[in-house]
């Protein structure tokens, strides 16, 4: 990744920076944090289909697409304004051929046949409670696909104690870098029940964990 690309992203994301929606981390720090989503034990096949849920302005999906040029990405967010900024970022670094920005809800897309059980990797940075991330993210994965989430000590404990068998998955790895912690859940054999993921009110009334 070259300096001019990072500068282009900083310029595109200036409005988000001004409103505080991007946080205080520099583009360089966000780039390094994105690298942590792929652990040393993981391998992404050439042509892998990947999803960034709750991408916001394109973090970490834009960086991951740049770092893994053999992969294809769909960046998902429920805010049209954030999607516009994510699309601007994709264009600023020339990723149009491999990265799509999708305005939509994860719990709806996971019931779409073009999305369900169709992806090798799903990542999430700031999507919401751990149980929501699991329920919305894991049905998107093909068998042996991975859901990778950035975690704090508290959220890591919630994942490690979770029973993910209703989603045909299990936690397989936890690691830390200088930028933070990450956890990986992997889709096992079997299928996810058709009613998962549930809509938000049902998830809030009866969280899986």
Which tens digits make up the pLDDT trace of 105-132? 999 999 999 999 999 999 999 888 999 9
Q: How far apart are CA 176 and CA 140, in angstroms?
A: 25
DSSP 198: P
pLDDT of residue 54: 96
- Give the chain's length: 209
- pLDDT interval class at 2 (50, 70, 90): confident
Residue 114, token pair as written in the block? 């073009």
Give the CATH fold of the 3-205 domain.
Answer: Rossmann fold (3.40.50)
Q: What is the pLDDT of residues 22-71, one digit of tens each?
A: 888 999 999 999 999 999 999 899 999 999 999 999 999 999 999 999 99
pLDDT higher than 70, residue 9: yes
pLDDT of residue 21: 82
**Every domain of the chain and the residues it spans:** 3-205
> Based on the number of CB atoms within 10 Å of its own CB, is 152 exposed (0-12), middle (13-18) or buried (19 or more)?
exposed
């Amino acid at each position: 990744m070259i300096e001019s690309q990072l500068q282009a992203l900083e310029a595109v994301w200036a409005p988000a920076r001004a409103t505080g929606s991007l946080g205080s981390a520099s583009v360089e720090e966000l780039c390094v944090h994105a690298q942590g989503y792929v652990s040393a034990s993981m391998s992404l096949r050439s042509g892998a289909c990947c999803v960034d849920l709750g991408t916001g302005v394109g973090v970490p999906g834009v960086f991951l697409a740049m770092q893994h040029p053999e992969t294809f990405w769909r960046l998902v967010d429920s805010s049209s304004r954030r999607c516009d900024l994510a699309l601007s970022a994709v264009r600023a670094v020339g990723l149009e051929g491999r990265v799509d920005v999708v305005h939509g809800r994860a719990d709806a897309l996971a019931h779409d046949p073009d999305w369900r059980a169709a992806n090798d990797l799903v990542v999430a940075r700031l999507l919401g409670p751990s149980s929501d991330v699991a329920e919305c993210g894991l049905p998107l994965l093909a068998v042996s696909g991975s859901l990778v989430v950035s975690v704090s000590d508290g959220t890591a404990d919630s994942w490690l104690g979770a029973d993910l068998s209703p989603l045909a998955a299990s936690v397989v790895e936890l690691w830390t870098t200088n930028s933070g912690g990450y956890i990986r859940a992997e889709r096992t054999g079997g299928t996810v029940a058709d009613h998962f993921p549930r809509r938000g009110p049902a998830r809030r009334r009866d969280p899986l964990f």
